[in-house]
Structure 1
């Protein structure tokens, strides 16, 4: 079994879509309404939908909620980090290696105010 679809609710569908297209290689398959929902897909067939159906509430995610995008190498993690940093995104601490599973990662807050982990498994 594989997780192949996720929906995130955000205040600004267009802004969040651009973030995932720019830094994670998603491509837009469809935008419905006036940016009510955008359907994105990556090269592995993972579908990310980004929505704001009500337009009257701001979604709030729990403190530890995050989504992760696994990269193939530490160099790819660093490249995304450096690109985001150069683009003026607050990427926080540089990627670092964590024990246990042996991962290298960093966290960034995506438009929509939820965490994204960029990582590779060493």
Structure 2
């Protein structure tokens, strides 16, 4: 079994869709309604949807909630970090190694106010 689909409720579907297309290589298959839901896919067959069905409430995620995107190399992690930083995104401190976890990563707040971890298992 593998996780192949995730929906994230966001206040601004168009902005969040663009974020995942720009930095993580997702392709948009469809946008329904007036940016009610965007259906995105990646090269591994994962489907990510970002939605705001009611357009009357702002979703709130718990402090520790995050989604992670595993990269094959530490260089890829650094490249995403540098690109986001150059684009004016607040990426915080440089990616660093978590010895006990065996990863190198950084966290960024995505449009929609939830955390995204970009990491490489080392």
- What CA deviation, in whole Å up to 9, does each residue of 1:79-102 have, x standing for no partner? 000000000000011100002231
Correspondence list, 1:24-103, <5 A = 24-103=24-103
Corresponding residue number in structure 2 for 1:9: 9
- Aligned Cα RMSD in Å? 0.5
Count of residues in correspondence between the two structures? 122
Where in structure 1 do 4 or more consecutive aligned residues deviate above 3 Å?
none
- Tell me by how many angstroms 1:60 deviates: 0.1
Distance in 1 separating the partners of 2:100 and 2:40: 33
* SS, match of residue 50 in structure 2: strand
State the alpha-carbon separation in 1 of the partners of residues 46 and 100 from structure 2. 27
What secondary structure, in the 3-state scheme, does the structure 2 residue paired with 1:14 have? helix
TM-score (norm 2): 0.99
2: CA distance, partners of 1:16 / 1:95:
22
Task: Identify which range, 97-106 or 18-27, moves more after superposition.
Answer: 97-106
Following the alignment from structure 1 to structure 2, what is the Cα–Cα distance between the partners of residues 44 and 12?
25
Unaligned runs of 5+ in 1: none
| TM-score relative to the length of structure 1 | 0.99
Counterpart Cα distance in 1 of 2:72 and 2:33: 36
Q: Which runs of 5+ in 2 are unaligned?
A: none
**What is the DSSP-based 3-state SS (H/G/I as helix, E as strand, rest coil) of the residue aligned with 1:54?**
coil
